[in-house]
Each structure stands twice: as C-alpha cells, then as structure tokens.
Amino acid sequence: MHYEDKEKYRSELQKNIDSVRKELEELKSRMKPFVAQKAFGRTGTSDAMQKKSMQEGRIDSLESKLSELVKNLAGIDGPQFGMCESCGEPIGAERREALPQTTKCIKCAQ
C-alpha cells in the first residue's frame, strides 16, 4: 500500500472509530435497566425486554467493530497491514473501503 493510500486509509479508520464510539455512547446513555412492572402488562413487558435485547445486541456488534477498527489502525504501519490474517493474501481495496474493520479477504471471510 502506498504512503498516500495508507494516510487516506488511516484517516478513514479514525473517522470510523470516532463514529462508532459516538454511536456507542449514545446507545449506552439511552439504555435503562429493565424493571418489570405491572403497568406494562404482559405485551408491554415483552416489548420492553425485546427492545432492550436488541439494544444490547447492537452494542455488542458495535464494540466488536470498534475493536477491529482499533486493531487495524494500530497495525497500519506494520508489514502485515492489508493482508488477510487467514491466508496472507492482500485484502482488496474495495473490501477495505466497504468494511474498514475487516482483517480477512473476501474468500476467507466466506
């Protein structure tokens, strides 16, 4: 990867990291502990539990994405940057652009 490309990618990674962190903060600030109340009724309680579960799933997904983004940013100057962690082949530029958190080429990701 050329220096110019690497710097552009570094900037994109940082933007993605900042965006994911912001979304995580917003989600976590809106999360409220679930307390079953009779006022909800059975359907309302079920809806509240489902919503909380969906929010927790989104948080888990974002935390995983953030971890991979940070890992990629930390390794951007290393010799293995841009290489698939499974097969060692280069990860396509289009794939890195679409999924900046990826550490695998499209073939290995399938």
pTM exceeds 0.75 for this model: yes
Q: Provide mean pLDDT across the span 58-64.
A: 96
pLDDT at residue 109 tops 80: yes
CA atoms within 13 A on the CB side of 51: 13
Q: Which of 53, 61, 15, 52 is nearest to 30 (CA)?
A: 52
pLDDT at 35: 58
DSSP 42-98: HHHHHHHHHHHHHHHHHHHHHHHHHHHHHHHHHTTTSTTTTB-TTT-PBPPHHHHHH
pLDDT at 13: 94
| Weakest mean pLDDT among 7-11, 24-28, 43-47, 102-106 | 43-47
Q: Provide mean pLDDT across the span 8-28.
A: 94
What is the pLDDT of the chain when averaged over all its residues? 86
Q: Which amino acid is at 71?
A: K
